[in-house]
Structure 1
Amino acid sequence: MPSTLLTRALERRANIWSQMQEIQQRAEQDGRDSLTAEEREKWDRAEADLTEVSADIERMERAARLDTVRRDEVVVAGGRGPEGGEDREADQDAAYRDAFATFTRRGMSGLDNEQRQLLMAHHSEVRAGATSPGSAGGYFIPTETLNKITEAMKAYGGLMGAVNIITTSSGNNLNWPTNDDTANVGAILAENQQVTEQDVSLGQKTLGAYTYTSKLVRLSLQLLQDDVFNVESWLTRKLGERIGRAVAAHLATGTGSSQPEGLFTNATAGKTGAAGQVTSVTYDDLVDLQHSVDPAYRMNAKWATADQGIKVVRKLKDTQGRPLWEPSVQAGVPSTLLGSPVVIDNSIPVPAAGAASIGFGDLQAAYVVRQVAGGQMMRLEERYADYLQVGFLGFLRLDGKPDDTAAFRVYKHPAT
């Protein structure tokens, strides 16, 4: 259920948008080629209000997504399994969660024998190319806490919530098969003739597992010892936000060298703007970009751009003078552009000379993210003992690559 504040903001945006359309329709009905000075002033004021309320809606929706993973209570779906199996599993999860929280606040010395054994059963060593049991690693973050990291990544990078995500138990290189059979067609077979051969050509991409770290966070012993607030929930959320911001940048524009290759990095230009359009785009450009993607992919296609790109697009109108951008008036439903949903990710390049600022296509087919299950957190007690502080760092292993390159195209601004 959306909050009352969010509902009101959505209604306000719809009203502002309606007022702007009324101004435009009035000028069209009068047969005028331009707005009056008074109408222009009202339009500019309404557009400023629309930008402001849209930003507020985005903030509230992002906060709502994060809030769903801040809960400390774990709801177990379903009833009692055979011989209470599901209840036992829930009890084990709760026990590990309590042990992890105690470890966060008090370290290994604050655990009893049972809690220590629970943590050691979920301990791993981190070294180049592998994750294996050992004594110099971190403890796996509880499942519901790991979800906080995943949700933070989605909230801070729109692409992460739209592309294809696969999860593996280990970080060994994963060979990902590819195929483009679109040039091959069947044929009519005459009577008593042999069928001709046409093999399927498979390619291959390799998905690794880059280790993303939150960097080190130091907390005072006083804060850890006080029970004023849920420090373990707050801490893991902050570690997740840091990792999320780093991942978001690479999923959009990563170089592919010692980091993921971004969706926009080497994407094919479906449309390049005319000379002079270094920060602009036209209605015809967007139509051309849409149709540069094969209809096979357009059914599930989405636009992807930064907030600055949306700002440019919102000013465009079709040949009938109707705005291309249609703001959403329902919580959780994205705004649309030429009938397709819009994903906003501020890691995507902004409109500029030579930049690819707008993308269109089936994001699920176009890009794949490989994430290794089991984000971890380390606690460093001795390093900052003389400061009465404890160090924490989180890490998560992940890689991403363009998958089906035919499923996605970009609009590229000219160099000049």
Structure 2
Amino acid sequence: MPNLQTLLDKRATAWNAAQEFQGRGDDKSLTAEDRTAWDAALADVERLSKEIETEERHARLAAVDYSKVIAPTGGEPGDSDEDRQANAEAAYRSAFTAFTRRGMNGLDNEQRQLLMANQAEVRAGATSPGSAGGYFIPTDTLARITETMKAYGGLLGAANIITTTSGNPLNWPTNDDTNNVGAILAENSQITEQDVTLGQKTLGAYTYTSKLVRLSLQLIQDDAFGVEGWLARKLGERIGRAVAAHLATGTGSSQPEGLFTNATAGKTGAAGQVTSVIYDDLVDLQHSIDPAYRATARWAMSDSALKVVRKLKDGEGRPLWEPSVQAGSPSMLLGSPILIDNGIPVPAASAKSIGFGDINAAYVVRQVSGGQLMRLDERYADYLQVGFFGFLRLDGKPDDGSAFRVYAHPAT
């Protein structure tokens, strides 16, 4: 793998090439060939910047003397990579817990180094790196936050999640080739052309914050219960509520675009069904998506909509809803699993309250790795309190629109 200096040299070369094209005039005066080369140079700068960021963080971690903060067990030269990784994670988790309880002044030099090596800059105005950064939440603590988010917002657990190390705009190509088919070719005949049409989507990284939690110094010092575990649950619940609403019905303007926001209606209820749905409507909705998606499709609705659905029966008087009888297995409706997310609209006039489809194909979430926690020691010192808040960066957008349809209630 290229060393850091090599990457820096390559980025400088790419940047100089981009600047050279820019110096020739505005992009309208450039030839198509020059414009392509300019775009390629800028793309190289962005790619190399990400690689440099990774290398720099690796160098910071490598500079930490783990032997002084890792427990002696499993620290011998013959240990496996898994053991060394486990020891490093245990050391960081211990340092993070100490930071939560006592702040930076309560850490020894090795613990402080370990935290600083896992600090990310919070870009706000002219804030410099290190002056207002959050420390990455340890893996097991972050998992508790993520699970809390999934428990409240099921869509996050079913969507296609792309994890990146930075929050730069993320572009990827899209294609709908379903209307194009092959053909029989007669002998000695020229083959017919059929180009592939590509589109493009872009994901950003909105910053979700838990808002501020203030704890008394006495509570933190006494720590009758695990304060870091309590914080993880509280911060996760707050962030989860905000994320769930946006992943379901976000406008796409200064927030993610929700899966239900502009989804195509596979079935619209008859007049009078402003808060209800019937058996035939669910069958029509289920068959409104192509069979290619139905093998991995599921229902998505709020708990209020599930309450309506659970009362439905087939022609033999049997409930359509099939409750789960095994831990970890979802309840079923017409042979497909049910996902509950209270960010999805409840049954109401003109609302899209029930969805069906392959959510993993239909919706993509870009999440910047590493939820972070910040501790404010000085701001509330005169109250003998310490402030905490967590934040997580992500964005979401519908991807394959053919994979998902919704049931829409009539206006009246």
TM range (shorter): 0.7 to 0.9
Deviation for aligned residue 1:130: 12
Equivalent position to 1:136, from 132, 137, 140: 132
Query: In structure 2, how many angstroms separate the alpha carbons of the residues matched to 1:83 and 1:261?
Result: 47
Count of aligned pairs: 339
Matched, 1:397 2:375: no
Q: Which moved more, 1:225-234 or 1:396-405?
A: 225-234
Letter of the aligned partner of 1:106 in structure 2? Answer: R
The residue that corresponds to 1:117 in the other structure is: 113
The residue that corresponds to 1:304 in the other structure is: 300
The residue that corresponds to 1:192 in the other structure is: 188
- Deviation readout 1:178-235 (Å, 9 max, x if unpaired): 1100000001111112222111111111111000000000011111111422111211
Deviation for aligned residue 1:371: 0.6
User: What secondary structure, in the 3-state scheme, does the structure 2 residue paired with 1:167 have?
Assistant: strand
Q: How does 1:298-337 map to 2 (within 5 A)?
A: 298-337=294-333
TM-score by length of 2: 0.79
The residue that corresponds to 1:408 in the other structure is: 404
The residue that corresponds to 2:13 in the other structure is: none
Deviation for aligned residue 1:304: 0.7
Deviation for aligned residue 1:321: 2.9
Query: In structure 1, how many angstroms separate the alpha carbons of the residues matched to 2:177 and 2:115?
Result: 49
User: What secondary structure, in the 3-state scheme, does the structure 1 residue paired with 2:121 have?
Assistant: strand
Equivalent position to 1:371, from 367, 371, 382: 367
Letter of the aligned partner of 1:246 in structure 2? Answer: A
Deviation for aligned residue 1:263: 0.7
CA contact (8 A) 1:367 1:401 kept: yes
Equivalent position to 2:384, from 367, 381, 388: 388
- Deviation readout 1:90-112 (Å, 9 max, x if unpaired): 11111111111111111111111
Unaligned regions of 5+ residues in structure 1, if any? 1-79
Q: How does 1:54-73 map to 2 (within 5 A)?
A: none
Structure 1 131/267 Cα, relative in aligned 2: closer, same or farther at 3 Å? farther
CA contact (8 A) 1:139 1:376 kept: yes
The residue that corresponds to 2:4 in the other structure is: none
- Deviation readout 1:371-415 (Å, 9 max, x if unpaired): 100111111011000000010010000111111000000010110
Query: In structure 1, how many angstroms separate the alpha carbons of the residues matched to 2:398 and 2:123?
Result: 27
Structure 1 131/382 Cα, relative in aligned 2: closer, same or farther at 3 Å? closer
Structure 1 204/383 Cα, relative in aligned 2: closer, same or farther at 3 Å? same
Equivalent position to 1:246, from 225, 242, 246: 242
TM-score by length of 1: 0.78
Letter of the aligned partner of 1:169 in structure 2? Answer: T
| Stretches (4+) displaced over 6 A | 129-132
User: What secondary structure, in the 3-state scheme, does the structure 1 residue paired with 2:80 have?
Assistant: helix
Equivalent position to 2:97, from 88, 91, 101: 101
Matched, 1:348 2:321: no
CA contact (8 A) 1:300 1:362 kept: yes
Query: In structure 2, how many angstroms separate the alpha carbons of the residues matched to 1:307 and 1:230?
Result: 31
Letter of the aligned partner of 1:389 in structure 2? Answer: Q
The residue that corresponds to 2:148 in the other structure is: 152
- Deviation readout 1:255-281 (Å, 9 max, x if unpaired): 111111111111000000111111111
Letter of the aligned partner of 1:397 in structure 2? Answer: R
User: What secondary structure, in the 3-state scheme, does the structure 2 residue paired with 1:393 have?
Assistant: strand
Query: In structure 2, how many angstroms separate the alpha carbons of the residues matched to 1:262 and 1:399?
Result: 10
User: What secondary structure, in the 3-state scheme, does the structure 1 residue paired with 2:230 have?
Assistant: helix
Query: In structure 2, how many angstroms separate the alpha carbons of the residues matched to 1:360 and 1:400?
Result: 18
The residue that corresponds to 1:209 in the other structure is: 205
User: What secondary structure, in the 3-state scheme, does the structure 2 residue paired with 1:186 have?
Assistant: coil
How large is the RMSD of aligned CA atoms in angstroms?
2.1
Letter of the aligned partner of 2:273 in structure 1? Answer: Q
Deviation for aligned residue 1:86: 2.2
Structure 1 131/206 Cα, relative in aligned 2: closer, same or farther at 3 Å? farther
CA contact (8 A) 1:129 1:171 kept: no
Structure 1 82/288 Cα, relative in aligned 2: closer, same or farther at 3 Å? farther
Equivalent position to 1:167, from 163, 170, 177: 163
The residue that corresponds to 1:181 in the other structure is: 177
CA contact (8 A) 1:129 1:172 kept: no
Letter of the aligned partner of 2:96 in structure 1? Answer: F
Matched, 1:89 2:96: no
The residue that corresponds to 1:237 in the other structure is: 233
Structure 1 129/350 Cα, relative in aligned 2: closer, same or farther at 3 Å? farther
Matched, 1:290 2:281: no
Query: In structure 2, how many angstroms separate the alpha carbons of the residues matched to 1:290 and 1:281?
Result: 13
CA contact (8 A) 1:272 1:411 kept: yes
- Deviation readout 1:320-379 (Å, 9 max, x if unpaired): 332211122222211111111111111111111101111111111111111100111111
CA contact (8 A) 1:294 1:407 kept: yes
- Deviation readout 1:32-78 (Å, 9 max, x if unpaired): xxxxxxxxxxxxxxxxxxxxxxxxxxxxxxxxxxxxxxxxxxxxxxx
The residue that corresponds to 2:334 in the other structure is: 338
Letter of the aligned partner of 1:124 in structure 2? Answer: A
CA contact (8 A) 1:175 1:206 kept: yes
Letter of the aligned partner of 2:203 in structure 1? Answer: L
Equivalent position to 1:357, from 350, 353, 356: 353
